[in-house]
A and B are shown apart, each in its own frame.
Chain A
Amino acid sequence: MRRYSAFAVAREAARFHSGWERAWGNPEPKRHYEVIVIGGGGHGLATAYYLAKNHGITNVAVLEKGWLGGGNTGRNTTIIRSNYLQDASASIYELSRGLYEDLSQQLNFNIMFSPRGVMMLCQTEHEFRAMQRTAHANRLAGIKTEMVTPHKVKEICPILNIDGPRYPVLGGLWQPRGGTARHDAVAWGYARAASALGVDIIQKCEVTAIDRYGPGGRVSGVQTSKGAITCDKLCIVVAGHSGVLAEMAGFRLPIESMPLQALVSEPIKPCMDIVVMANTVHGYMSQSDKGEMVIGGGTDGYNAYTQRGSFQHIEETVRALCETFPIISRLKMLRQWGGIVDMTGDRSPIIGKTPVEGIFINCGWGTGGFKAIPGSGWCTAATVAKGTPDEVAGPFGIDRFRAGRMIDESVAAAVAH
């Protein structure tokens, strides 16, 4: 891999950009791999990268049915934060947020991490109390957040209307080192770095069946649109399609797949340099570098694989945001889309072993897994390499449902992102 640098830009400018190489390889699949990762989203690619980088396992393939980041990784509103309530969540999300800090340098790829600060608004008494509790939990977990007054909220983000009457701002939970990053770049950066370490990135390769050594036996490989491939270990990282892959392997998951939508406005002059989350009304907003207001909404209430979502949900979101941000009321919306999010009952992810020997899974990130890509890849790789979950991944095992050991983030903010 030839490194990207200011010098490289100058060198290429001098020779009409004729010397750039492919960012990652485009090999035909081999017959056998030590590890196959299904899903070329951020989590799958990060898992492959850390398998190679941290554990020296390079005989790895990432199989992606479409294009890299074409799933939720390229469809999200890119909010990065770690102010979660439960200890287990705090440690994985903070590990992740910390890795984001210098990820561009680590991957030699500009992922445009922008720790501009995330403000979670408290718009009801209950939310205010819940956020106070989260702030205390964050302090105990060593995560830098603070409760701020409505006055301070207004000072940090002047375009906010804090007065109500319907959605008054009673305070805010402020994480100054939260922010955003460029979503495609995260997928591309991991793909390029993994490819440089010897990982095969194979796009347009859909897994259609999972093979086992006899019924009840260990995994032996997969059938794909590019033929059969065998493996020693298999790691399923397919977000909304987790149920489909689990069915191929012969087990069920505590997961339901639903559309989640986002939309962006026409570009306007810079007016908001932080991320604002209004959880009560399911409205999330930040301004992109191009000037578009990027808005995320709530999930649909029923299962679907449509990558579209129901209109009334964006209507609700936008209606509420117009009260909180009167300045956006005349904006035209340019694009709207949906992704299929994999929702667990406790709104926490699943990482670890599955009922089938040799198959590992990473899923259940639902509406909030972009922020977790580096940390999740880190500990999923450790789990796959060692065969047992590492300390951070441990609590997220699928067995927690059976044991009644939920990691309940749905009580905390009622939402993820």
Chain B
Amino acid sequence: MLILTCPCCGAECAETELAPGGEAHLKRFGPGSGDDEFTGYLFERKNPKGVHFERWRHAFGCGKWFHAARCTVTLEVFGTYTAQVSEPPQDILDAIRARRPGWEG
């Protein structure tokens, strides 16, 4: 069972309390963008074996969205952070590098 701490309300949540929201930090392309960009944004996913950044929602709790950094192989959680950023903050990157020295992102 995956356990994430909601950075919005501080609750420690079992995954049954949360709704997964897919890959984080996608750059949104809209009208005026090229087909390649739009296809990439809509469909193509990193799907990494290892460190992954995701969106989650505390669905059966405060209802807010947040981000999580997690390993898809071990399910280790490196940290959770606010939804209001477009890339992972430095402390999360440091936490990942402390656990995965060779990680290049």
Contacts and interface: CB of A to CB of B under 8 A. Distances in A.
A310 B44 contact: no
Interface string A254-291: 11110000000000000000000000000000000000
A253 interface: yes
B46 A301 contact: no
Given A301-B19, A401-B39, A402-B39, A310 B2 contact: yes
A304 B75 contact: yes
A244 B15 contact: no
A310 B42 contact: no
Contact of A306 (B16, B20, B73): B73
A244 B2 CA distance: 23
Interface string B8-34: 000000011001101100000000000
A254 B45 contact: yes
A242 B47 CA distance: 9
Interface in B32-50: 35, 39-40, 42-49
Interface residues of B, number: 25
B48 A243 contact: yes
Contacts of A311: 1
A254 B43 contact: yes
A53 to B, nearest CB: 33
A255 B20 contact: no
A380 to B, nearest CB: 21
Contacts of A254: 43-45
Contacts of A402: 35, 39, 43
A305 B71 CA distance: 9
- Give the secondary structure class of A's interface: mixed
A253 B43 CA distance: 8
A124 to B, nearest CB: 22
A243 B46 contact: yes
Given A303-B52, A310-B2, A311-B1, A253 B44 contact: yes
Interface string A343-384: 001000000000000000000000000000000000000000
B45 A256 contact: yes
A279 B67 CA distance: 31
Contact of A257 (B35, B42, B47, B75): B47
A306 B47 CA distance: 14
Contacts of A252: 40, 44-47
B26 to A, nearest CB: 12
Contacts of A105: none
Contacts of A301: 15, 19-20
Given A306-B73, A310-B15, A241 B43 contact: no
A5 interface: no
A18 interface: no
A401 B48 contact: no
A253 B45 contact: yes
B49 A241 contact: yes
A405 to B, nearest CB: 12
Given A301-B19, A310-B15, A401-B42, A253 B75 contact: no
Interface in A300-331: 301-306, 310-312
B49 A305 contact: yes
B37 to A, nearest CB: 11
Contacts of B73: 304-306
A311 B40 CA distance: 33
A282 to B, nearest CB: 15
A305 to B, nearest CB: 5
Interface of A: 241-244, 247, 252-257, 301-306, 310-312, 345, 401-402
7 contacts: A243-B45, A253-B45, A303-B52, A304-B75, A306-B75, A310-B15, A401-B39
Interface of B: 1-2, 15-16, 19-20, 22-23, 35, 39-40, 42-49, 52, 54, 72-75
